[in-house]
Every structure is written in structure tokens, then in C-alpha cells.
Chains A and B, each alone.
Chain A
Amino acid sequence: MSEIANIEELKKLAPPAELRRAPVVEGNQGLGWLTDKLSAFAEAKVPLWWKIAFVPAAFAATVIFPICLFYQVFTGVGVWGNNHPNMWGWDIVNFIWWVGVAHAGTLISAMLFLTRQHWRTTIGRMAEAMTVFSVMMAGLYPAIHVGRAWFDWFMFPIPNSNGNWPQFKSPLMWDVFAVNTYLMVSSLFWFMGMIPDFAVLRDRSTTRARKAVFSFLAMGWTGSAWQWHNYEKAYVVLCGLCTLLVFTVSSIVGLDFCTSQLAGWHATIFPLYFVIGAVFCGFGMMLVLLTSLRKLCKLETIITKSHIDKVAKLCLVSGLIINYIYLMEIFIAWYSGDPYERWVFGHRFFGHNYAFFGWMLIGINVLLTQLLWIKKIRASMVALFFIGLFINFGMWSERMVIVVGSTNQDFLPANWGLYHPTMWDIGLYVGTLGAFFMMYLLFVKFLPVIAISEVKGAVPHGDPHHPHGGAQKGGH
């Protein structure tokens, strides 16, 4: 290879354009430009679209949400549609849905880091924020679903005068640990990733108040080689641990179901089913957030179409796995020969009460997802935005099918009953959606929404072995 005479011969050796890796950032004009570009939104005036989006989100979060929450806590779980035999209703449906939304964030930022995907640097932070906020929403549901929220502390191993302890033989107890750990670890991961970027905003700040806030958050980060050395190690360790969490948290939620005896729940496939479903749903939410925010925050050259294309492909992959699991579930229900099992699965699609959700599951998660095979659709931001929204609804329907579909008709016909959500169910869901989007909008506006230092390290200008990064002939 050292015989290459001139640049023309070198060009012949280069792979064709379709095979070349897309640049992490389009139209890159150097590190200073990149810093300006990435911190611009956090430093600019609050734009109009932000205010328009913030007002309804904040209304839902600060008015609807507390009203529904406190009314339920003061009155009892009976204000929801939950009643015998449907002891689990929207509260658990929404809990699983929110935990699911969280998962793609961790997958994007942790697993893609471990596999050295440079393109993740531009979307990782947004994904992590999605994780943190949606786990907050998820954690709320089981806490109030217990009915007497003031006894929640019973779930924690706190020595008390009654001398009783949590009962660790139940997966519901493991859930407490799983969701709390997920919230803690994803917040730590999110915060640690932002420390160098807080330092960027600190050094760029023009007002004293901004300087004080970001100095405090950056904790005196100087960016010395020693700091980066320890930081990178800590980051790898956290990524490894977060990757474990991707597979653990939803598995445990799945165990809540499969350790029960109910037809439709009692299946060993559930932990995997829930993990993949969670990731799929999260990628749907990621598509919604990325396609809209890249335009609204004017980050089209940073979150490039190539990155969105990759997220859409990952969404398709997880969608195909979930389709396979649906097929296996139905096959096993038939193959088991268990009449109750067959009854439940038959009624998922041909029952009188909830067949709509069963067909939504097929129509969206199985059929609509296949649109992502088409390159043109993966390049259309509008199409991806709506596909993402639909996937979220499709996955919500799936949880509805699982939770309510199995509880409403169990082994004894005398025990059957219908489930309908009440206005308090709906209000609480709207409230959590509002709280999620309110926090997300605040994050987008005031915190470094893109990992500034990571992106700078992933472009050619940041590579000491690249001519743009100052490499000279014969290595650096």
C-alpha cells in the first residue's frame, strides 16, 4: 500500500459513494463553528413554537395531573375503572408503556457507545433525557396503584416498629428495585455525560447568573487529560451497566406477568417479549422526538437524515423481532392445547370487547412497521414522525391487549367483567404525558441538548490522526 503514487490512484481504491460512511455532521466547518452551532439553541431567546408547546404541556402537568393524582389518592383506586376482575387497568398499561419508552434511550446511548457507533453522539443526549423523564412517569404508576400511597414505604426495607420486612419472593417487589435503580442510574448517566458540556456553556456564558449556574453544575471541570482519562473510564463502565439495565428492567416487569397463573400471561417468553416491545416502543418515541426537534431546533446538519435512517432501521429490526414474538405467542397458545390459553388468544382478535386493540397491534406493530423497509419513507421526516406516533399507540394497544385482555375473561365465566377507563384514568395519562413533555421542553431549551464534547471528538477535526485534526505525514 505504500506504493500509492498519487491521489488519483488513492481515489480509485476508495469504496463507491453508497458504501462510504456518512459524515457524523454535515457541512462541518471546524470545532469552533460546531461549538457555536450546538450551544446556540440553549443560549438563544425562547422561540415561539417552544412557548406554544410549553403552555398545554405545563397545563396538563401542573393542573390536570395533580388534580387526578390527588383525587385518586384521597378517594381510592375505585375512581379508576379498575375493579374485579380487572384489577390491573390503565395504571399498569401506562406503567409498562412509560417504562418501554425509556428503553430505547438507554439502548441508543449505552449500547451504541459500546459498539463504537459515532453517529450516536448527536442523538444520545436526547435519548437519555427521554429515558430519565419517562422512567419518572413510569415509577409513579405502581406507587399510586397500590391504593394507599402513604404506605409505599412498606416496599422499602426500612426497619420499622411493626417488625415487618418486604417479601422478596415476589417479582412485584423486584420491580421496586428495578424501576428505582433504572431512574437513579439513567439520571447519573445523563448527568455525568453533561458535565463537560456544562463546562462549555459555563465558558460561553455572558451573564453572571448563567455563569454561576453552569459553574456549579460543571463542578469545576477543566478538561485536563487526567480528567478525561478518568471520565472516559467511568463512561464506559456506566454504559456497560446501563446496557445490563436495558435487559433487566423490562424483564422484571415481564416476570410480574409470567409468574402468575393467568392464561395469556403464564408464558416464559414474557421477559424477552417485554424487553423487545419496550425497545420498539422507545424507538417509535425517538422518531417522534428527533424528527420534530431537529427541525424546530435547527439541527438538520447535526442530526442528519443518515442518523434518522439508522434509528428507523433499528426500529424496524426491533419491530420484526416483536412480530416474531407475536407469532410464537399465538403458536404456543395453540400448540399448548390449553383451552383457556386458546380462548384468550382467540378473543384477542375475535372477541366482542377488546378486539379493536388486538387489530391495532396487528395493523400497526406488524403491518405499518413494514413501511420502514422503504428507503423513501425512511428519508421522509413527516412519514417517520407519524409512524413513530402510530408505533407508540400500537405498543400501547399491545399492553392493553395483554393486561385487560387476560384479566377480563379468566377461567370462570362467572368471574368475567368488563373494563372501561374513567375520566380519572384518562386525566392521569394526559397529565403524565404533559409532565413528560414539559420536562423535555425545559431540557431542550436550557440544557445542552446535544453532547457537544462527544460530537467534537467524533468529527475529523477532532481526530489527531486525520489531516483536519492536524495529522502530518507519517502519522501524527
Chain B
Amino acid sequence: MNEKIYGLMAEFNTPGDLLRAAEKIRGAGYRRWDCFTPFPIHGIDKVMGYRNSLVGWVALAGGAFMFLNVAGLIWFSNAFDYPLIVGGKPMFSAPMTFVPSYIMMIMGGAGGALIGMVALNQLPRLHHPLFFKKRFEGATRDKFIIVIGANDEKFCATGTKQLLESIGGVNVEIVEDQE
């Protein structure tokens, strides 16, 4: 058992317990830790100190990119490269350009949202030290798990364990780094 330590993992039984514990860990000055929950907990963003997610901006960029590209494509194809008079309508005008551009803006925005989410969450990542812990499977069921990383400046195998137990964490376990 000479493996490196990834961190310490503790279980909590309710979202309320987790939220209180998270506030205390934050209060104790830890920085590299995370909560693993079966569903998003209301109020956890504030405790973790997260600001507005960047996903919205990625989606906006995707949407704007597609809108401008399709508008440009319509201009290029119908007004520049192969102008064709249809029903005496102008070669390029807002009513005919807006609808396809708008529709593709939705496609770009949706793609941006998914890609942004996946990229910011660093997915796909099929290999993770936590996946080796049997108890971690509770995090998708009914357990609320806090992991404090060994790379945190304040991390100390015994002190951190005591902290996690004192704030109500059960089954505090060491997570080995399998890399």
C-alpha cells in the first residue's frame, strides 16, 4: 500500500447535513475539495463559491457563430455566387434570411451548451480515482459525499479526518491515487 493518496472521502445522509458540513469545510480554509451528490443541491453553488457558469457564454458564442455563418452563407449562395431571380424578390433580404439563420442559431446554441458543459466538466473521463471506491457508488443513489483533495495546502491525513468526523461525516475513507 505505497500508493499516493488522492484525498479523504466522507459520507453524509441528507442534503442539509452536506450543506452544513460544506460550510464548515469552507470555513476551515480548505480550497481543493468537492461535494458529490445524486442531484444538484439548492444553495451549494454559494457555499462552494461558484460564480455564474461559463456554459451560457459558450452557448451564446455557438448561437451567434451559427447565426452569422448561415446569414453569410445565404448571402454568398443566393446573392453573390449564384444570384437567381425568384418571384421578383430581392436577392438578399431580411425576411428570407432571418428564419434559417435563427433556426441554425438555436442549433448552434444547443451544441454550444452541450459542448460547453462537457468541456468545463472535463468529460468524458472514464477513469477517476473515486470510481475505485465501492462506497462512492452511493453518490448516485442516496448518499452525499465530500472529498477533500490531498493536494490541498491544509490537507493532513489525521487532522482532515478528524474534521470530517467532527462535522458529521461517516465512513471517512482514504481515496488512493491510482495514476
Contact = CB atoms under 8 A, between A and B. Distances in A.
Which of A35, A224, A453 has its CB near the most chain B CB atoms (within 10 A)? Answer: A224
Nearest to B116: A234
Which of B41, B82, B104 has its CB near the most chain A CB atoms (within 10 A)? Answer: B41
A227 interface: yes
Contacts of A241: 59, 63, 106, 109-110, 113
A197 to B, nearest CB: 9
A222 B36 contact: yes
B141 A203 contact: yes
Contacts of A163: 81-82
Contacts of A31: 38, 141-142
A339 B43 CA distance: 64
A462 B73 CA distance: 48
Interface in A391-408: none
Contacts of A472: 16, 20
Interface string A163-190: 1111111110110011011001100110
A220 B77 contact: no
Given A241-B106, A244-B106, A470-B13, A223 B100 contact: no
B152 interface: no
A463 interface: yes
B170 interface: no
Interface string A222-249: 1111111111111001100110110010
Interface in A450-476: 453-454, 456-457, 461-466, 468-472, 476
A168 B74 contact: yes
B64 interface: no
Contact of A32 (B16, B120, B141): B141
A219 B123 contact: yes
Given A35-B142, A457-B39, A469-B14, A169 B87 contact: yes
A192 interface: yes
Given A167-B84, A184-B110, A224-B34, A219 B53 contact: no
A386 interface: no
A198 to B, nearest CB: 10
A169 B106 contact: no
Given A181-B104, A464-B15, A230 B126 contact: no
B10 interface: no
B163 interface: no
Contacts of A164: 82
A196 interface: yes
A219 B117 CA distance: 12
Q: Is the interface on chain B under 10, 10 to 19, 20 to 34, or 35 or more residues? A: 35 or more
Nearest to A201: B140
B37 interface: yes
B159 interface: no
B173 interface: no
B127 A220 contact: yes
Interface in A76-132: none
Given A167-B86, A233-B53, A476-B16, A224 B35 contact: yes
Contact of B42 (A238, A456, A463): A463
Contact of A169 (B39, B48, B73, B86): B86
A276 interface: no
Given A221-B123, A225-B48, A230 B140 contact: no
A288 interface: no
Contacts of A157: 73, 77
Given A157-B73, A181-B107, A463-B15, A234 B55 contact: yes
A252 interface: yes
B99 interface: yes
A190 to B, nearest CB: 11
B132 to A, nearest CB: 12
Given A234-B114, A464-B14, A245 B106 contact: yes
B102 interface: yes
A215 interface: yes
B34 A225 contact: yes
Contact of B37 (A167, A223, A465, A470): A223
Given A178-B103, A219-B124, A454-B39, A165 B53 contact: no
B40 A166 contact: no
Which of B14, B43, B96, B128 has its CB near the most chain A CB atoms (within 10 A)? Answer: B14
B92 to A, nearest CB: 9
Across the A-B interface, the 9 shortest Cβ-Cβ residue pairs? A470-B16, A470-B14, A165-B77, A31-B142, A219-B124, A457-B39, A234-B117, A233-B53, A220-B125
18 contacts: A31-B142, A164-B82, A168-B96, A196-B39, A219-B125, A219-B126, A223-B36, A225-B41, A227-B121, A230-B55, A234-B53, A237-B55, A237-B109, A241-B63, A241-B113, A453-B140, A456-B38, A469-B14
Given A170-B86, A464-B16, A469-B15, 11 more contacts: A34-B142, A157-B77, A168-B100, A189-B110, A219-B126, A229-B44, A229-B53, A230-B54, A233-B52, A234-B53, A454-B39
